[in-house]
């Protein structure tokens, strides 16, 4: 009889050598550089990843390494956060009890212990308001740090190899923790290998984007297993069938297995089966052939196991299998002996996931329902220990929907408790779908508004505030105030606060006030939460004084009710109320108070309060153009979010956006690109990615990359997030300006003003900036414009000046501050308009034109906006040349080019193309021009085309063209517009 699987690895020697080298096994005394050696191991299902990892494990153990492996399982819609790390943590603490003492300070590690995640049969948590746990707050920072510290401690005496298998089934939280370990420094030798099925990574698979992101981390290597070549397949067949197979059978295996080692094993086993004379045409049939050789008891064990997925504990399988103990033991033993199941220390696993899937798919629909029902019963009894996520899955698939609701809520709470917001949102939403049956909700005694609120929290933590808003809106529409005032209060309060961070035309303050009116009187936690939410809503709509009053009341309640996390939230809100609207010593005092609030929030474990405080401090310094201090606060917010595993949560994403903007402004462009790398892979929620994308596209465009289609694709997000509109439209305007397409630039301006005027207000602050950029695009297009086009462009330029000035005047006279950035764009607006008028033939004052550009240059250097300084200097150089100050023009051009060269952004200085130095003349221009040329020059200065000039002077258009070329050459002008400007400058016109 042939061996079912090869005891010797075949055809993978080079891959094993490379994998050993990458993790450090091949180089004794490898010097660790403060980061884990990390490898992404990919390949199709059955190609040999697990066999290679077993070989790597054995080699590592021989060299004295400690090896810990965690496995991701296919729980489908019932993902259990951090499942492979629970396995790893349990093994480390079992094997190294002294390590447990070293990491005792990291209490979060206990949350991953396998025993802590198992629900005891018959026990269920009460579905009620979430309990406030200090230091918790859905924060994954402590958990991530704890896992890192555990691995660090385990590697103190010997190197550690951590293997996470089958991450194509990993939940989002597991993927986030893997990413954290890839980027977090280790002092002791720790290597990480992560495997996944490459054939499972379809275009929308979440791991596809994650792998792309991980691949850019410097210390992460990739190793892809390709199918075995024919000679290796033949060698594997010889080992599996030492008695030999005829050539026809071997050729068939080679043809059908396509280099997949598992398929080779299964096909060889099928050929060796005396009862199977022909190999079925479908692989599933090949896989299921193995079941035909099992006893009835073994087949029943395998079928029951398939409903649990690839892996199942002994106790749960025994409880779910309707067999006498002796028959069960005999069935399990045969399934293991026949290599269908593999026995571990506490569980059984299908030898290959494809085999388990084939068995499950072979079940009849009624069989599946009955098997899942058995699991529900087993998990509800003390004999069957499992997770809430497992119970929810089995309950849904067995149509036990009441039990599915309770288990889904329990699974959602557990996911949030370990920092898995994406999985928590999925579980809660599944419960909400089932609770739409009013009879079921009443029968279970569950207030669906509480579950909706928890779902909203999970969605927001995962970066999908828009979906959270929509969900709350839908539930509010079904929740009348007269029959459910407390439920409506809870939903309204949360909805109103979310409205302040999404684009809409609703009155958030009025909705929040309605929620407060419905809140219970007296000292209740719910009233305290509604009060602080109302204060934040009022602060967001500019009613800071009223907000302060409600926040103070909330603080008193939170302290009396011993709610430290909420108290920290209130203190942060109070400290940040006026920090952006005051200056001088008062501003410094408020900043100091806000810093103290951040420290308090950190100590209390109030993550959201900490993130809000860091963001507000960054914005305060940003508004004063104190770029480096602002950048430090924003960076700290990004880092805190990364540690917590919530990179798209409120205030984390905004901190990344503002930090990228600062890096763009200060000329640290490579850092800005690194901060926005997720845009390239689409690795994140759509709107957060859209918010940071314009910074990236602005840099790439200035460096000459064609980004126009990508920028225009962001228009679909303008209605949902106005910030995307402001900055993506700015990039569109710039790109079209550099292309000389003023019409497209003006169209982009008009479209974004139309959208933002509708969702914000007509005179929004960024309109000054957009007007200035559009004027620059018009200036670039004027030299090649016809007379009719020139008149239309000049008319539109005048309107853009009015647009921008109206906004600036409104902000200067309003309660807010018109900061240094606003002042810079206002100066630029005036300078660009005068440049357009000059290039268009307006005989405005030369001194006024030069003075405006001097002011624009002073304001941009004061602000420290590096790329705009390059653009202003290039434009100023053009102006200086047109008015005859060639030496000064050359100096400004050199300074502009130096900036552009440093940023590798030639398009920033495109104006220099029309501002090259003229060849010095040996005589005056007037002496060099003939009378006819002076006559034609005057008509050129009026904006007449060659055809129009020819008709007026009764000469051919071709003759006019020759005269115009001579005029340009004599004056050293690059264009008709420049020739007209020189003529006015030197009084050459009659």
pLDDT tens for each residue of 481-520: 777 899 999 999 999 999 998 888 899 999 999 999 999 9
Mean pLDDT of 270-294: 62
pLDDT score for 130: 46
The reported pLDDT for the residue numbered 988 is 79
pLDDT in the model for residue 507: 94
All structural domains of the chain: 12-120+132-226 (3.40.50.300), 231-279 (no CATH), 290-380 (1.10.10.10), 685-909 (1.25.40), 925-986 (1.10.10.10)
First vs last Cα of the chain: how many Å apart? 109
Residue 519 token pair? 């809140």
Average pLDDT over residues 756-760: 92
For residue 795, pLDDT over 90 is answered with yes
Give the pLDDT score at 4.
Answer: 54
* pLDDT at residue number 816: 60
Kindly report, residue by residue over 149-180, the tens digit of the pLDDT: 999 999 998 999 999 999 998 988 899 899 98
Contact 928, 921 (CB under 8 A): yes
Residues 880-933 have pLDDT tens digits of 988 888 899 999 999 999 999 999 999 999 888 644 433 333 345 555 677 788
User: Is the model's pLDDT at 550 over the cut of 70?
Assistant: yes
User: Rounded to whole angstroms, how far apart are CA atoms 640 and 612?
Assistant: 11
Q: What is the mean pLDDT of the chain?
A: 86
Starting from the edge strand earliest in sequence, which strands make up the sheet with 37-43, in order?
Answer: 66-71, 160-165, 190-197, 37-43, 220-224
User: pLDDT digits over 209-222, tens only?
Assistant: 889 889 888 889 99
- Between these two residues, 842 and 664, which has the higher pLDDT value? 664
Residues 544-551, mean pLDDT to the nearest whole number: 91
Q: Angle at CA 856, nearest 5°, toward 587 and 884? A: 160
Measured distance CA(731)–CA(770) in Å, rounded: 10
- Distant-in-sequence, close-in-space partners of 277: CB < 8 Å, separation ≥ 6: none
pLDDT digits (tens, 9 = 90+) for 603-634: 988 888 999 999 999 999 998 999 999 999 99
Confidence of residue 31 (pLDDT cuts 50, 70, 90): very low
B/e letters for 511-532, b = 16+ CB within 10 Å, e = fewer, are bbbbbbebbeeeeebebbbbbb
What percent of the chain lies above the pLDDT cut of 90? Answer: 51
Within 10 angstroms of residue 455's Cβ, the number of other Cβ atoms is 26
d(CA 19, CA 21): 5
Range with the lowest mean pLDDT among 145-149, 263-267, 550-554? 263-267
For the beta carbon of residue 766, count every other beta carbon within 10 angstroms: 21
Q: Higher confidence at residue 379 or residue 141?
A: 379
179-188 per-position pLDDT tens digit: 989 988 889 9
> How does pLDDT run across 723-735, given as a tens digit for each residue?
999 999 999 999 9
Name the band, by pLDDT with cuts 50, 70 and 90, for residue 528. very high
Question: Which pLDDT band holds residue 242 (cuts at 50, 70, 90)?
Answer: confident
pLDDT of residue 310: 73
Which whole-number Å values give the CA distances from 375 to 79, 297, 357, 388, 612, in the listed order?
17, 18, 18, 12, 44
Q: Is the pLDDT of residue 30 over 70?
A: no
pLDDT (0 to 100) of residue 128: 46
Instruction: Give me the helices (H) in 562-720, please.
Output: 564-575, 584-604, 607-623, 627-644, 652-665, 669-675, 677-681, 686-702, 708-712
Among 419, 17, 34, residue whose Cα is nearest residue 189: 34
pLDDT computed for residue 269 by the predictor: 75
Residues shown for the chain: 990
């Amino acid at each position: 009889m042939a061996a079912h699987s090869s005891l010797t690895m075949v055809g993978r020697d080079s891959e094993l050598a490379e994998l050993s080298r990458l993790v450090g096994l091949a180089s004794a005394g490898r010097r660790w550089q403060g980061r884990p050696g990390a490898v992404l191991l990919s390949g199709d299902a059955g190609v040999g990843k697990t066999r290679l990892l077993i070989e790597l494990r054995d080699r590592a153990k021989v060299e004295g390494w400690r090896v810990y492996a965690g496995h991701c399982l296919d729980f489908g819609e019932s993902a259990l956060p951090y499942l492979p790390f629970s396995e790893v943590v349990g093994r480390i603490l079992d094997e190294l009890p002294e390590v447990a003492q070293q990491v005792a300070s990291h209490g979060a590690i206990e949350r991953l212990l396998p025993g802590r995640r198992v629900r005891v049969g018959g026990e269920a948590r009460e579905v009620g308001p979430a309990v406030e746990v200090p230091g918790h707050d859905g924060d994954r920072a402590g958990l991530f740090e704890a896992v890192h510290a555990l691995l660090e401690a385990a590697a103190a005496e010997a190197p550690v190899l951590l293997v996470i298998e089958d991450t194509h089934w990993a939940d989002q939280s597991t993927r986030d923790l893997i990413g954290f370990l890839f980027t977090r420094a280790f002092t002791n030798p720790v290597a990480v290998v992560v495997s996944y099925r490459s054939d499972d990574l379809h275009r929308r698979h979440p791991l596809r984007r994650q792998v792309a992101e991980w691949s850019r981390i410097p210390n992460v290597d990739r190793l892809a297993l390709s199918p075995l070549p024919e000679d290796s397949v033949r060698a594997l067949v010889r080992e599996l069938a030492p008695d030999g197979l005829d050539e026809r059978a071997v050729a068939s295996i080679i043809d059908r297995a396509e280099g997949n080692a598992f398929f080779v094993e299964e096909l060889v086993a099928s050929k060796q089966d005396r009862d199977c004379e022909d190999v079925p045409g479908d692989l599933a049939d090949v896989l299921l052939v193995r079941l035909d050789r099992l006893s009835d008891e073994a087949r029943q064990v395998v079928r029951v196991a398939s409903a649990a997925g690839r892996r199942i504990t002994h106790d749960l399988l025994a409880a779910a299998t309707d067999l006498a103990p002796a028959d069960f033991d005999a069935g399990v033993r045969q399934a293991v002996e026949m290599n269908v199941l593999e026995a571990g220390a506490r569980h059984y696993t299908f030898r290959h996931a494809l085999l388990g899937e084939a068995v499950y798919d072979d079940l009849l629909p009624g069989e599946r329902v009955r098997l899942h029902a058995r699991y529900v019963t087993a998990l509800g009894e003390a004999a069957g220990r499992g997770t809430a996520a497992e119970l929810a899955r089995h309950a849904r698939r067995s149509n036990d929907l009441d039990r599915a609701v309770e288990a889904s809520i329990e699974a959602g709470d557990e996911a949030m408790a370990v920092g898995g917001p994406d999985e928590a949102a999925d579980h809660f939403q599944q419960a909400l779908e089932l609770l739409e049956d009013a009879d079921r909700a009443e029968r279970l005694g569950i207030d669906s508004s509480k579950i909706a609120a928890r779902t909203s929290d999970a969605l927001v933590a995962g970066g999908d505030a828009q979906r959270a808003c929509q969900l709350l809106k839908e539930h509010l529409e079904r929740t009348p105030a007269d029959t459910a005032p407390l439920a409506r209060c809870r939903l309204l309060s949360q909805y109103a606060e979310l409205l302040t961070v999404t684009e809409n035309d609703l009155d958030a303050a009025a909705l929040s006030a309605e929620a407060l009116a419905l809140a219970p009187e007296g000292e209740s936690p719910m009233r305290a939460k509604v009060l602080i939410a109302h204060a934040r809503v009022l602060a967001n709509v500019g009613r800071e004084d009223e907000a302060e009053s409600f926040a103070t009341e909330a603080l008193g309640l939170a302290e009396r009710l011993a709610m430290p996390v909420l108290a920290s939230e209130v203190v942060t809100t109070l400290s940040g109320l006026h920090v952006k609207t005051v200056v001088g010593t008062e501003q410094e005092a408020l900043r100091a108070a806000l810093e103290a609030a951040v420290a308090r929030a950190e100590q209390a474990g109030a993550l959201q309060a900490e993130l809000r405080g860091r963001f507000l401090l960054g914005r305060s310094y940003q508004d004063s153009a104190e770029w480096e201090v602002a950048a430090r606060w924003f960076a700290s917010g990004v880092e805190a979010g990364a540690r917590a595993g919530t990179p798209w949560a409120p205030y984390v994403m905004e901190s990344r956006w503002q930090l990228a903007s600062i890096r763009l402004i200060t000329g640290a462009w490579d850092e800005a690109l690194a901060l926005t790398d997720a845009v390239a892979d689409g690795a994140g929620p759509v709107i957060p990615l859209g918010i940071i994308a314009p910074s990236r596209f602005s840099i790439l465009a200035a460096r000459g990359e064609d980004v126009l289609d990508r920028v225009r694709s962001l228009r679909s997000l303008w209605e949902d997030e106005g910030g995307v509109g402001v900055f993506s439209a700015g990039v569109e305007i710039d790109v079209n300006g550099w292309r000389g397409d003023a019409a497209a630039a003006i169209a982009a301006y008009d479209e974004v003003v139309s959208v933002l005027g509708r969702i914000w207000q007509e005179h929004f602050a960024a309109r000054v900036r957009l007007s200035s950029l559009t004027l620059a695009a018009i200036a670039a297009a004027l030299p090649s414009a016809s007379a009719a086009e020139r008149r239309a462009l000049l008319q539109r330029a005048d309107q853009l000046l009015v647009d921008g000035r109206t906004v600036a005047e409104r902000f200067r006279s309003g309660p807010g501050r018109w900061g240094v950035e606003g002042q810079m764009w206002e100066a630029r607006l005036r300078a660009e308009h005068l440049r357009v008028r000059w290039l268009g033939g307006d005989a405005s004052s030369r001194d006024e034109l030069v003075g405006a550009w001097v002011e624009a240059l002073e304001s941009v250097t004061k602000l420290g906006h590096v790329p705009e300084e390059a653009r202003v200097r290039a434009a100023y150089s053009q102006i200086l040349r047109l008015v005859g100050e060639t030496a000064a023009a050359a100096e400004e051009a050199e300074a502009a080019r130096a900036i552009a060269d440093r940023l590798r952004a030639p398009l920033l200085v495109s104006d220099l193309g029309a501002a090259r130095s003229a060849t010095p003349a040996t005589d005056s221009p007037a002496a060099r021009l003939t009378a006819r040329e002076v006559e034609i020059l005057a008509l050129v200065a009026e904006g007449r085309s060659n055809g129009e000039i020819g008709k007026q002077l009764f000469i051919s258009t071709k003759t006019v063209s020759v005269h115009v070329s001579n005029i340009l050459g004599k004056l050293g002008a690059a264009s008709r517009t420049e020739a007209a400007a020189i003529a006015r400058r030197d009084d050459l016109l009659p």
